Structure 1
């Protein structure tokens, strides 16, 4: 059984899963996109649907011989610096086009797929899809219109803000953030996501296939990712919320994911986001949940 890990040996999660899959009897290799096109070789014939991937060590795999691919991280491609900027641009786009084609044409079982990865990047759509499923989400405004943001702020006692795309921690909105000149300057550069602050505690639910593992994250920080001392307490989700986890994963095209919730003092679960490539080692170590074992089982389905 041939399994690829999209990532490299510099990532602890990729290495951990590589070792676990190898111990389970799979033939595992890293698919490090930074090595394409200088070391990795990709070929594909659209008329016959025949394709192959030659790894940096010379190991050649036909697309149909790759059983599954674990999406840990994609690092783009590496084009050596060229004197001609236009040639550099053409080389980059040509390489990315073939790489993207491989990720959609290779019939392997992807955990997760290119489509799921692309959907995750559109976080406003992710929230909208969750709402359509009947899942509770925070009152949210994504905008670069200062008037609408100030009006939205008047209807909510406490607000948080974060990037639309992600990549930075959540912060509280203060009066200084809403100062018209400062706000207009910031919004001329990029839109922002503004949400009502949801009082309560953080819950993270890992969905692996049909399995759901959840824990309460006890932290005094607004964004628990900033808190190295955060405590993890395993919990059993209400049956309805567990079903929502599975519905979210399916609707978002995710074979596995980590879903972040906010649990209100009233007992209501509020959806925040679903990550297509979450870190899981710390969570697994602290809770004892068999996430690695379930991922190995998922990837080794023939």
Structure 2
């Protein structure tokens, strides 16, 4: 997994800056205690992706949802108990999947290096690996996160929704210490995404008193979405991919937005706001620029709310 020279310097500078501000995270954190950790995780993720092409999108989304609630502490991996409903059972997370991939990686890590590699680091590394395996950029994952002991379903309601406008998105990201550019860049993870009709069908019919469908949608694309999501929709699995190259990590997502084919209201709204439009258009023109910024923003995302006082779970689904 070689690094591309065009953005390696940027990543190194960001890593240096974060390392200075948060010494807990270190690219060489497991060099002595579990030097084979990243290779173990990569092999598990690669095998899972070979058998299930949906794994990359699912792992990447899982990482986003983990970091946006309580920071990157693997709280999204905890199972609910009789006394507590955990994050994975919160409304925005019921469609999360592929937890088995992290479970498998953790089982192998425990055999190789017992009680050493946290679930939070495992998920962060897996998120990088699924991007690389899908043809996207590589980056150095800083490590040393600890696993949280608290996971509450009601806290997932703070996750940004597909119906958000750009101002709401900017506010949500800024609360996590992420910039407007990070917002547009990390939204590019939707290049691997799929959405069920329930997340965007409000844009397709009776949108307003004047418009049947959202006027910011390309009319032909709106009709295609209506066909995919008929009324009544008896197929709960119906939906649409968020770009036209759903198994490849590329900049097609931004090209679709420029063409009025952003599936989510939140996606398309970024073209309508002067604070984000120029970034969307720049990434639509230049994939290498998007790749470099995505790698940098993922390093920043991985540093959100790092848990310094947690534990290293033996089983990612339960606290020790």
* Larger Rg computed on CA atoms: 1
Superposition TM-score, scaled by structure 1 size: 0.29
Which structure's relative contact order is higher, taking Cα pairs within 8 Å and 6+ residues apart? 2
Q: Greater share of strand residues, 1 or 2? A: 1
Q: Greater share of helix residues, 1 or 2? A: 2
Superposition TM-score, scaled by structure 2 size: 0.27
